[in-house]
A and B are shown apart, each in its own frame.
Chain A
Amino acid sequence: MTPNCCRRLSAGLCLLVLLTLPLTAWAHKASDSFIYLDQNQSQLRIDLALRDLALLLPLDSNGDGQLSGAEVRNSRGAITGLVDQGVAVSNASGPCQLIGMRWGLSRHSDGPYAAARYRVACPDELSPSSLEYQLLFERDPLHRSLVSITDAQGERLDVLAPDKRRISLDNPGSAVGNTLQLFGTFLYEGVLHLLIGLDHILFLLVLILPATLPRKQSQRPSPTRPIRDFRLRLLELAGIVTAFTVAHSITLALAALDIVTLPIAWVETVIALSIAVAALNVFWPVLGRKTWKLAFGFGLIHGFGFASVLGELTSGVSQTVVALAGFNLGVELGQLALLGLVFPALYLCGQFRLYERAAVPAMLLMVGSLSLYWVAERATAI
């Protein structure tokens, strides 16, 4: 059991001695490092045992077998370099930078550790989605990195090992939460896209305008019931924009799921043309007076237009259907909100003759000209 015993025995028996020594009482824990990743604050902290670092780096500069505060402090550059090589966080936009915030010592149950806190900066300024770790495994296959990940869902723990050097930072325990988040993101994108997309707003305007005009004599409602008339018209318009949404949802889905793909330049041109035709239709109803049918028909074209925007947004998103649903609902909500704001104002204007005689034709002319200009511009770009 002791080296003395060994000397008295043959080599073979010396081996026996060793192997039969008790192996039951452990004084230390095995080699662990600690990584704390806070997704809410975009911070990463890593703690590495001084003892483990001394295996990889010449920390003991004076060779006395001890590590002093000064020796550790002087090794800061080397330790930081080691972390740069062995620890990587990234997301779809590429590797994220670790920008040093604080550096010093910490303590765990088996002794002193070098600890560093970093700010995590990813190229797209979003959270990292993957953590990779390579340190110490070659020297000690029993080494583990104990990882704590804090995000909106709370804290969870994970372990990096030689056979698991990369972990996903997306929350596996809350698929529902992730889906909701994704849905919410695309809902927002849908609203946003409608509001910043001038051609869709103009198309909506063209659809709204006829309904703001006073009806022909025979259709005029009783003047005592203007409120009821307003409500009826609002409902009718809501039906029109919903028909538009249903139509573009169909083609958007077909495009997003790669069932039908059309060249985007052609689609954009036809969209512009559709606005001009819709404007023309107000004066000369070449396509009939059933506005909802018009909205539905052109909605089919517009869906392919949305698809090009959505395609950029959903790259790297696995749940395309959820994204699609969120986006469509967002567009619909944006349309309804716009309708709720704009229609009452225009309806009031509709009480004045000047509005019907001058303002509406002027607006339609403007929209028609602009959309024809787009047609020319987009067609030449094809």
Chain B
Amino acid sequence: MIRTTNRRSTTCFNACGHCRQFASDPGLTAFHPALRRRAFSIAALIIALTVETALAAPTAIETDYSDQEILITLPTEVSADTPPVNATTAADRVQAYLTRARAEGDPRYLGYGQALIEGWPDERMTDRLRILSATLDQSLHRFEPARAQLTQVIDQSVDQAQVSQARLTLANLELVQGRYAAARGHCEHLATALPGLIAASCMAQVDARTGNPNDAYETLKTLTRRASEQDITSLLWAEGTLADIAAQLGKPEAEQHWRRVLTLAPDDLYTRTQLADWLLEQGNARSVVTLTDQYEQVDSLAVIRAIAMKQLGHAEGDRLAARLEERFREARWRGNLLHQRDLARYALDIAGDTDTALSYAQRNWQDQREPLDTRLLLRAAIAAEEGTLVAEVRAWLNRHNQADARYPEERS
């Protein structure tokens, strides 16, 4: 359970200040050279205005669709239309929306959850609702409100289970943002309040990212072997953590750890993405295509799949790349991106647009500093020949004593 922490990279949906408006995005035009059109219009006093345009041409309106054709299958209702009667019902519903959002990778459910929380009176907020609200905020890259609500629960709640939950969630948030000292503090508290694989995984992750990956791996592996088989969720989380540390160390065991997780939890999109990335790094593009089959709707998996297809010269590669292009175009128009990391990687490895890749990788790194985020920024900065930036990132890594086999090698 609690496979949480170490691998959550959250996405940017909404209101985060660093998400840019599409229309003012300087990288945009560079990103869509084929869609650029310059139109000169002569104004009354012979003034020529240059206009970037044709960014949003819609498909035609089709009128002769068949009556029998099934257009979509509607998602089953998660909850009723009636407002929740009490805080428990409200929390259950928000939790159901969050579960659904995670399992299906569908951000619409986060919106439904947010509507429910926004409509819920402040004086009737409970610790559980606050934690759920913070989780929602974190998913939407609203890190400061998330941190504030979690801290409030930790400081004020008398319910130990809620405090532990808040600590775990906050530890995750700090780890993702690269604030290892804060994360370590929460993991230590967790070890006292809730000893077991969860707390051990929490510590292992922080240790691994701050200079002790070998010890962290061996210690967690030993604990995992001894763990009770009943607690599957804790085991899965520990396996995921082991996989990540193994990958950091460049150990081939990483794949087995991830596959173990996926066998028990095939819907774990995060683990699937990690494994796909690993396989791609190992030069195993065919396995990537197999692993990502049926997951083209998921941006992170689709980008890795497209890269693998490109490497293989796969017949479907261009079609997938075009689909991704449309998706990212709409996301940029919306102005806040689901996945700056995915977009940066698409720009770097598919579109070959180094400037766009660097700009998104940089912005992503301001929010999330998991190894895949850091690696992407290093790769983009190297491709753009931004030596100073590379040095800054390396300096940050050195400060935390963080080494990772997945990072590009340092050129001396």
CB-CB contacts below 8 Å: B1-29 with A: 1-5, 7-11, 13-14, 21-23
B349 within 8 A of partner (CB)? no
**Chain A residues in 8 Å Cβ range of B128:** 15
CB-CB contacts below 8 Å: A72-119 with B: 72-73, 102-112, 115-117
- Which of chain A's residues has its CB closest to B76's CB? A65
Q: Is the CB of A28 within 8 A of B107?
A: yes
A293 within 8 A of partner (CB)? no
**Chain A residues in 8 Å Cβ range of B315:** none
Binds B, one of A137-145, A221-229, A266-274: A137-145
CA distance in complex: A2, B261 (Å): 12
**Chain B residues in 8 Å Cβ range of A155:** 51-56
B411 to chain A, nearest CB (A): 31
A319 within 8 A of partner (CB)? no
A192 to chain B, nearest CB (A): 16
CB-CB contacts below 8 Å: B144-175 with A: 159, 161-162, 164-165, 168-169, 172
Q: Is the CB of B61 within 8 A of A68?
A: no
Q: Is the CB of B265 within 8 A of A142?
A: no
B18 to chain A, nearest CB (A): 16
Q: Is the CB of B71 within 8 A of A23?
A: no
A286 within 8 A of partner (CB)? no
Q: Is the CB of B161 within 8 A of A12?
A: yes
CA distance in complex: A141, B43 (Å): 40
**Chain A residues in 8 Å Cβ range of B112:** 139-140
Binds B, one of A45-53, A305-313, A332-340, A357-365: A45-53
Partner of A70, one of B8, B53, B67, B335: B67
Q: Is the CB of A142 within 8 A of B56?
A: no
Partner of B333, one of A106, A146, A152: A146
CA distance in complex: A281, B76 (Å): 91
**Chain B residues in 8 Å Cβ range of A15:** 95, 128, 131, 161, 165
CA distance in complex: A159, B39 (Å): 23
- Which of chain B's residues has its CB closest to A112's CB? B71
Q: Is the CB of B44 within 8 A of A184?
A: yes
A326 to chain B, nearest CB (A): 10
B95-112 CB contact bits vs A (8 Å, 1 = yes)? 100110111111110111
Q: Is the CB of A17 within 8 A of B233?
A: yes
CA distance in complex: A28, B108 (Å): 8
Partner of A154, one of B51, B68, B299: B51
Partner of A51, one of B72, B115, B172: B72
Known: A154-B51, A157-B333. A22 touches B13 (CB 8 A): no
Tell me the count of chain A residues lying within 8 A, CB to CB, of chain B.
Answer: 82
Binds A, one of B209-217, B251-259, B268-276: B268-276
CA distance in complex: A154, B339 (Å): 29
Binds A, one of B281-289, B323-331, B357-365: B323-331
**Chain A residues in 8 Å Cβ range of B22:** 157, 159
**Chain B residues in 8 Å Cβ range of A27:** 104-106, 269, 295, 297-299
Q: Is the CB of A142 within 8 A of B52?
A: no
Known: A12-B162, A69-B69. A30 touches B3 (CB 8 A): no
CA distance in complex: A4, B232 (Å): 9
Q: Is the CB of A5 within 8 A of B11?
A: no
**Chain A residues in 8 Å Cβ range of B356:** none
B77 to chain A, nearest CB (A): 10
CA distance in complex: A203, B364 (Å): 72
CB-CB contacts below 8 Å: B61-116 with A: 61-63, 65-76, 95, 98-99, 101-108, 110-112, 114-115
Q: Is the CB of A29 within 8 A of B331?
A: yes
A273 to chain B, nearest CB (A): 38
**Chain B residues in 8 Å Cβ range of A69:** 65-69, 71
B41 within 8 A of partner (CB)? yes
A265 within 8 A of partner (CB)? no
- Which of chain B's residues has its CB closest to A101's CB? B61
**Chain A residues in 8 Å Cβ range of B105:** 25-28
B34 within 8 A of partner (CB)? no
Binds B, one of A31-39, A230-238, A243-251, A373-381: A31-39
Binds B, one of A174-182, A205-213, A345-353: A174-182
A19 within 8 A of partner (CB)? yes
Partner of B265, one of A1, A18, A29, A157: A1
Q: Is the CB of B1 within 8 A of A28?
A: no
Q: Is the CB of B75 within 8 A of A51?
A: yes
B409 within 8 A of partner (CB)? no
A195 to chain B, nearest CB (A): 20
B206 within 8 A of partner (CB)? no
Q: Is the CB of B58 within 8 A of A45?
A: yes
**Chain A residues in 8 Å Cβ range of B62:** 104-106
B236 within 8 A of partner (CB)? yes
A321 within 8 A of partner (CB)? no
CA distance in complex: A15, B21 (Å): 36
CA distance in complex: A109, B328 (Å): 9
Known: A65-B74, A69-B65, A180-B44. A148 touches B115 (CB 8 A): no
Partner of A21, one of B66, B99, B110, B273: B99
CA distance in complex: A321, B201 (Å): 70
B382 to chain A, nearest CB (A): 24
Q: Is the CB of A29 within 8 A of B51?
A: no
Known: A5-B1, A140-B115. A109 touches B326 (CB 8 A): yes
A220 within 8 A of partner (CB)? no
Partner of A174, one of B49, B74, B111, B169: B49
Q: Which of B139, B233, B298 has the most CB of A within 10 A?
A: B233
Q: Is the CB of B169 within 8 A of A29?
A: no
A124 within 8 A of partner (CB)? no
A35 to chain B, nearest CB (A): 10
- Which of chain A's residues has its CB closest to B4's CB? A20
CA distance in complex: A156, B331 (Å): 16
- Which of chain B's residues has its CB closest to A107's CB? B59
Known: A2-B265, A24-B10. A67 touches B56 (CB 8 A): no
Which 4 interchain pairs have the tightest Cβ spacing? A20-B4, A22-B270, A154-B51, A12-B161
Using A31-B111, A50-B72, A51-B108 as known contacts, list a sample of 12 further A-B pairs with CB atoms less than 8 Å apart, ordered by residue number in A.
Answer: A1-B1, A1-B233, A15-B131, A16-B165, A22-B269, A26-B107, A26-B339, A104-B63, A109-B323, A109-B326, A154-B39, A159-B334
Contact sample, A vs B, 19 pairs, CB 8 Å cutoff: A15-B161, A19-B135, A20-B168, A25-B273, A30-B108, A50-B71, A69-B66, A73-B67, A106-B60, A108-B59, A108-B330, A112-B72, A115-B61, A117-B61, A142-B108, A155-B52, A155-B54, A155-B56, A176-B47
Which B residues fall within an 8 A CB radius of A? 1-5, 7-11, 13-14, 21-23, 39, 41, 43-45, 47, 49, 51-56, 58-63, 65-76, 95, 98-99, 101-108, 110-112, 114-115, 118, 128, 131-132, 135, 138-140, 159, 161-162, 164-165, 168-169, 172, 198, 230-233, 236-237, 264-265, 267-273, 295, 297-301, 323, 326-327, 330-331, 333-335, 338-339
